[in-house]
Amino acid sequence: MLPVTLIKKKRDGHALDDAELRGFIAGVTDGSIADYQIAAMLMAIFWRGLDGRELATWADAMTRSGDVIDLSSIKRAKIDKHSTGGVGDKISIPLAPAVAACGVAVPMVSGRGLGHTGGTLDKLESIPGFKVDLPVDRFAKLVDELGVCLIGQTARIAPADKKLYALRDVTGTVECLPLIASSIMSKKLAEGIDGLVIDCKVGTGAFMKTIENARALCALMKTIGENNGKRITCVLTDMDAPIGRTIGNSLEIRESIEVLRGGGPVDTRELTHVLGGEMLVLGGVAKDLAEGRAKIERALGDGSALEVFRKVVEAQGGDPRVCDSPGSVLPKPKHREEIILGEGKIVAIDSEALGVASLLLGAGRRAKEDAIDPSAGLVVDGYLGEVIERGAAPSVMVQHSRDPGDARVIEARAMIQRAFTLAPADAPFTARPSRILEVIR
């Protein structure tokens, strides 16, 4: 059938049969279907959805649009982690080497920034020389030798998803549950993994604004994964405030290295410990979360996780000195300025606004062709529940390489100012004690 026929059929609320779904994905992969027609189908699916059969076929077609990597020769259990996207979410960077240091292999195929959220690949590429476009055979070799490798989608890994992923970012279809579930699982099923821990973000800075939507997404992903014989755990985590204190690529690398040294912000450490602990349970090297978490904490505290990361950076072409002196290696911005917040207690932070502000400064993309400024971003010195006192006001440090008078920089400043809700210092407010909302095993 012509693509327009399928678009109209889905637009009008009808289910596509298996041949139509596989044919459409084949056309996405070989380029015979134009971007504007793909975008139209994405919007039709956004509004009309995919039923269970359609979703299974769509995800399988995406997985099989390229090669499924064979890692069966690697003796260690192969467990990956995926985040649905958050503001300041740099967890994969300390997490993967920590899990590898504990004896579980992590074959991680990551994505780029999507909407207001950052991407692991963009963060890693802020390390001079770091290559994320390794061939599949090199990827498999490093997973075997080091226990971890972090790459992007090659032309051979779920190529249909690579095309769809870029178009979703610029067509307002990022939040569609079937598209999110199939995008995540097509890449993961192509990695040759045994199991997957999914960090499903919930809140103002996440694509899933409610816990009900997060549970629905997790149900879709678990169904796709378990139907393919994979062990799946979903961890619902709070995204009502940025993770850690940094937003932006090189800034988040700095914070990740702090965690790899056993330090870093409390929430960044907690997410690394818990998600890593769940990965060790799936990998069979920990009997429960408590044991897994203790092993991750030990790997971060004794330097073994940092040593794995150093080897990964060097093996993937990056400058390993970043592990010892990140400030001397990572790119520096041309401009730094401080935005002083008001006076009172911080009772809400609009994480999405801060993510968009960081994007406007150059840390993300408005269009898929946009270049990233690896030095751009925010350092947030002011957190939920903290009181800003007169004369000692916490601030947001803004850094970028654009002209300070650029309209995008001006817009970003205004968004940052509006992102913080202040109340009187004695106003009742209790910050959430943990980022972990729920675990679905």
Please tell me the class of the 331-423 domain: alpha beta
DSSP β-ladder status, 377-380 and 246-247: antiparallel
Where in the sequence numbering do the catalytic residues fall?
A: 82, 161, 168, 183, 187
- Domain ranges in the chain are 3-49, 79-326, 331-423
Do 200 and 214 form a contact (C-beta atoms < 8 A)?
Answer: yes
- The pLDDT profile of the chain, 441 residues, written as one tens digit per residue, is 799 999 999 999 999 999 999 999 999 999 999 999 999 999 999 999 999 899 999 999 999 999 899 999 999 999 999 998 889 999 999 999 999 999 999 999 887 766 667 789 999 999 999 999 999 899 999 999 999 999 987 778 889 998 998 899 789 998 899 998 999 899 899 988 999 999 999 998 888 899 999 999 999 999 899 888 899 999 999 999 999 999 999 999 999 999 999 999 999 999 999 999 999 999 999 999 999 999 999 999 999 999 999 999 999 999 999 999 999 999 999 999 999 888 899 999 999 999 999 999 999 887 767 788 999 999 998 889 989 887 677 799 999 999 999 999 999 999 999 999 999 999 999 888 999 999 999
Task: Return the ∠ at Cα 315 (arms to 309 and 317), rounded to 5°.
Answer: 105
pLDDT computed for residue 244 by the predictor: 96
Q: Are 234 and 218 in contact (CB under 8 A)?
A: yes
Q: Tokens representing 171?
A: 């067509």
367: amino acid identity, one letter: A
Query: 405: burial class by Cβ within 10 Å (0-12, 13-18, 19+)?
Result: exposed
What fold, for 3-49?
A: 1.20.970
Instruction: Provide the pLDDT for residue 228.
Output: 86
Side by side, which strands form the sheet with 246-247?
246-247, 377-380, 395-400, 335-340
Q: Which CATH class is domain 79-326?
A: alpha beta
Looking at residue 281, its pLDDT comes to: 98
Q: What pLDDT is recorded for position 1?
A: 78
